Amino acid sequence: MEKFITLTSTAIPLAIENIDTDQIIPARFLKATDRKGFGNNLFKDWRYNKDETINTDFALNNSDYSGSILVAGDNFGCGSSREHAAWALVDYGFKVIVSSFFADIFKGNALNNGLLPVQASKEFLSILIRTIENNPETQLVVNLETQTISIHNSEISEGFEIDFYKKTCLINGYDDIDFLLSKKETIEAFEAQKQY
Partner 1 sequence: MKKTLFDKVWDAHIVDSIENGPQILYIDKHLIHEVTSPQAFAALEDRGIPVLRPNQIVATADHNTPTINQHLPIQDKQSKKQLEQLTTNCTKNGITLYELGHKYNGIVHVMAPELGITLPGMTIVCGDSHTSTHGAFGTIAFGIGTSQVAQVFASQCLLLTKPKSLRITVNGKLKKGVLPKDVILYIISKIGTNAGTGYFCEYAGDVFENMSMEGRMTVCNMSIEMGARGGMIAPDQTTFNYIQGKEFAPKGDAFEEKVAYWKTLPTDEGAQFDKEYHFDAQDIEPMVTYGTNPGMGIKISETIPANDNASFKKSLEYMGFEQGESLIDKSINYVFIGSCTNSRIEDFRIAADYIKGKQKAKNVTAWLVPGSKLVESQIIEEGLKAIFDDAGFQLRQPGCSACLAMNDDKIPQGEYCVSTSNRNFEGRQGQGARTILASPLVAAATAIAGKIVDITKDVEQLEFV
* CB nearer partner 1, residue 125 or residue 151: 125
176 near partner 1, rule: CB under 8 A = yes
C-alpha R_g of the chain: 18
- Does 133 engage in binding with partner 1 (CB under 8 A)? no
180 in contact with partner 1 (CB under 8 A): yes
| Contacting residues for 176 by C-beta, under 8 A, at least 6 apart | 112, 169
Site for partner 1 in 66-95 (CB under 8 A): 73-75, 78-84, 86
Residue 95 CB coordination number (10 Å): 18
**Alpha carbons 132 and 12: distance in angstroms, whole number:** 8
Handedness of CA 4, 81, 33, 43 (dihedral sign): negative
20 lies in the binding site for partner 1 (CB under 8 A):
yes
When the beta carbons of 63 and 182 are compared against partner 1, the nearer one is 182
Query: Quick check: 28 binds partner 1 (CB under 8 A)?
Result: yes
What is the spatial distance between Cα 76 and Cα 74, in angstroms, rounded to a whole number? 6
Q: Minimal distance in Å, beta carbon 20 to partner 1?
A: 5
Q: Between 33 and 56, name the residue whose CB sits nearer to partner 1.
A: 33
Q: Which residues lie closer than 8 Å to 67 by C-beta, 6 or more apart?
A: 9, 10, 11, 12, 140
CB atoms under 10 Å from CB of 137, counted, come to: 11
In the complex with partner 1, the residue whose CB is nearer, 52 or 155, is 52
Residues in touch with partner 1 (CB under 8 A): 15-18, 20, 22-23, 26-28, 30-35, 45, 50, 73-75, 78-84, 86, 101-105, 108-109, 112-113, 163-165, 175-177, 179-181, 183-184, 186-187, 190-191, 194-196
